[in-house]
Structure 1
Amino acid sequence: MPVGLIYALGAYLSWGLVVPVHFRLLDAVSPWAIVAHRIAWSSLFVALLILGLRLASPGRGRARFVLHKRHGFLVLSAVIIAFNWSLYLWAVQHGQMLEASLGYFINPLVSVALGALVLGERLRPLQVGAVSLAGVGVGLAVLAAGTLPWVALTLAVTFAAYALIRKLVPIDPVLGFCAETFVLLPAALLYLGLGPDAAAPDPRQWALLVLTGVTTSVPLIWFAAAAARLKLSTLGLLQYLAPTCLLGLSVLVYGEALPPARILVFALIWIGLALYAFDAVRPGRAAVPAPRALAPKPGDCPG
């Protein structure tokens, strides 16, 4: 199995199974406080991770990191992913989980569109059919919602934009996440110190908030590694795994009802995904190699 596919599966399965359960346990904490804690503890986690990589390979840690003009886009990607996470948590805690899940179903189609328009990625006939089926499923989901789902559309567009930036910026996944996290760290610490949620949480909440540094950092690092190795269109369609896992979790674990219309939506999306996957693994379909010329070694840290 290609390495990029393994990274993508790890990221999307984490977002579909591990992260929702984790945040469900933090319902009593405001979404802004959760995001601030996530940034703070992720900063510590990624710093320790880079230190561990340097200790494991001392020679690689001495290499000098060379800034490139595109690295400035990491500031934009940091702001975009922070906004995406904040909106997702707000939707969950304000009874708009349907719109949130719909957003992550629409997102792959936005990624496919950006891959074609910005990166010039071409879809073969079978892939066009796969995307069309998925698009019909998403269209039915929008009709079932009854109104313009602005939360869903915002979630879809912001995460697709984040994926595009991480695809375009030539940087090691760990270093890219390190840069994004430290860009957001001052604002997060300011909020935790002076914001309305400055009061210390109870011991159970404290432990869960500390754990966000790992459960949200690792999938983003895996996602960036997958983005460097896979076509954006492939990465986008694989994202259907996360909301599908979320559906299974909601129905099987939390006892939420599954309307018949939603079953049809999932059936169309999964048929499309199966067709796309079949076309991707056919003989002669080479994986997109990870960028090498400008990518720093894992032991280096932005300077």
Structure 2
Amino acid sequence: MCSFGVVFLRERLAKLQIAAVSCAAVGIGVIIVHNGGLPWVALTLPLTFAFYGLLKKIIIAQPMTSILLETLLISPLAAGYLYYLSINEGTVYQSCDMNTLLLLAGAGAVTATPMLLFTACARKLPLNIVGFLQYISPSISLMIGVLIYGEPFTGTTATAFGCIWAGLALFIWSQIRR
């Protein structure tokens, strides 16, 4: 996402920010070399989110209007998929109790709130800052996996995340110095 800000929005990076991006790129490179190829799923998600962030940045609309338009665009696909499920495999809506249905309905509000906040903030922050904030979630997921679920923390993982976290530290330091 940081590179999208530089390429598409002509944002400039300070020297420390360039070093931060380089550290994160080395960390990602370590994972690519270790896996023996590009992790397509792991790259597709951040790329689609980078495009999403870029669109949020350049489209001039209030956050609520933006989310409404997104919902209107995706609703026909979602409705079609739910219809397909209902005639082939069944859906949770057909077989669950009222409490579960209420929780599912409430999940919409729980999902929409962060999206509204993201939309409001993405317009006010440079895209490179939004991009670096995206490294927080995978770091939290890694911690949960290792500390709670006992997943292995290999030397490769330590090297990759060490580079990424060093990049985050440099980026934070560059923002503090500003």
Normalization by structure 1: what TM-score?
Answer: 0.53
Match of 1:166 in 2: 56
Gaps of 5+ in 1: 1-110, 286-303
8 Å contact from structure 1 (residues 227, 235) kept in 2: yes
When residues 197 and 218 of structure 1 are mapped into structure 2, their CA distance, relative to the original with a 3 A threshold, is farther
How far residue 163 of structure 1 moved from its aligned partner, in angstroms, is: 0.7
When residues 258 and 207 of structure 1 are mapped into structure 2, their CA distance, relative to the original with a 3 A threshold, is farther
Alignment partner of 2:134 out of 213, 218, 239: 239
When residues 144 and 210 of structure 1 are mapped into structure 2, their CA distance, relative to the original with a 3 A threshold, is farther
Whole-Å separation in 2 of the counterparts to 1:143 and 1:201? 46
Match of 2:107 in 1: 212
Deviations 1:210-235 (A, max 9, x none): 34313322222221112111110111
Whole-Å separation in 2 of the counterparts to 1:207 and 1:139? 44
8 Å contact from structure 1 (residues 191, 198) kept in 2: no
Match of 1:27 in 2: none
8 Å contact from structure 1 (residues 141, 265) kept in 2: yes
Match of 2:8 in 1: 118
Match of 1:68 in 2: none
When residues 261 and 205 of structure 1 are mapped into structure 2, their CA distance, relative to the original with a 3 A threshold, is farther
Match of 2:71 in 1: 181
Whole-Å separation in 1 of the counterparts to 2:150 and 2:117? 30
* 1:1-303 to 2 correspondences below 5 Å: 111-195=1-85, 196-199=88-91, 200-203=94-97, 206-282=101-177, 285=178
Matched to 2:40, the amino acid is W
Whole-Å separation in 2 of the counterparts to 1:187 and 1:245? 31
Range with bigger deviation, 198-207 or 113-122: 198-207
When residues 263 and 215 of structure 1 are mapped into structure 2, their CA distance, relative to the original with a 3 A threshold, is farther
When residues 247 and 211 of structure 1 are mapped into structure 2, their CA distance, relative to the original with a 3 A threshold, is farther
Q: Which structure would you say has the larger RCO, counting Cα contacts within 8 Å and 6 or more residues apart?
A: 2
Identical counterparts, % of pairs: 38
How far residue 186 of structure 1 moved from its aligned partner, in angstroms, is: 2.5
How far residue 256 of structure 1 moved from its aligned partner, in angstroms, is: 1.7
How far residue 151 of structure 1 moved from its aligned partner, in angstroms, is: 1.6
Normalization by structure 2: what TM-score?
Answer: 0.87
| Secondary structure at the counterpart of residue 255 of structure 1 | coil
How far residue 269 of structure 1 moved from its aligned partner, in angstroms, is: 1.0
Q: CA RMSD in A?
A: 1.9
Q: By percentage of residues, which structure has more helix?
A: 2
Aligned residues: 173
